[in-house]
A = this chain, B = another copy of it.
Amino acid sequence: METIGFERHDHACCIQDGIAAVDAQCRDAGLQFTPVRRRVLEFLLAEHRALGAYEILDMLREEGLGSQPPVAYRALDFLVSNGFAHKIERLNAFAACSHPGTAHAPVFMICRICASVAEAQADTPISMFGHLAKNAGFTIERAVVEAEGVCPNCQDTSPT
């Protein structure tokens, strides 16, 4: 139920702590947290918005870490499939996970004005839609929940 995202905060910590947490988890799980993968996660952690794969690819290219789409997509696959990042389906873009290592039922809030993305942890998909699924006889395995609207920082500006 906790949300971190739109508040002011020490942003350096976002990156450091995020990387450290994933580093530790990779060591525990025997996953290779390679330079490309680490750098991509850093890019994602550096902004509280979702980055497109090609945007990431451009950043990698500037650093000589890879120049072709599969490089970016492979790193993103690694991060997403291990729960270190999420794909924001609505945007065809990717965001670092704010709660790496914890049980996952992310709810994303996407600001239509500044494009920032915050991740809230809800309980489980079951607790939210379990009753609907049960009615239908459907077994939920995973849920995409993405709310669009206006973040607190853009609330006053442009009422449209």
User: In this assembly, does A144 line the interface, its C-beta being within 8 Å of a C-beta of chain B?
Assistant: yes
Whether B122 lies near A139 (C-beta < 8 A) is no
User: In this assembly, does A62 line the interface, its C-beta being within 8 Å of a C-beta of chain B?
Assistant: no
Cβ < 8 Å to B, chain A residues 39-90: 89-90
Whether B141 lies near A129 (C-beta < 8 A) is no
Interface size class of A (residues with CB under 8 A): 35 or more
User: In this assembly, does A11 line the interface, its C-beta being within 8 Å of a C-beta of chain B?
Assistant: no
Contact of A1 among B132, B138, B140 (CB under 8 A): B132
Whether B149 lies near A133 (C-beta < 8 A) is yes
* Nearest Cβ on chain B to A117's Cβ, whole angstroms: 11
Interface pairs A-B: 7 shortest CB-CB: A137-B152, A89-B89, A141-B149, A3-B136, A120-B132, A144-B146, A140-B149
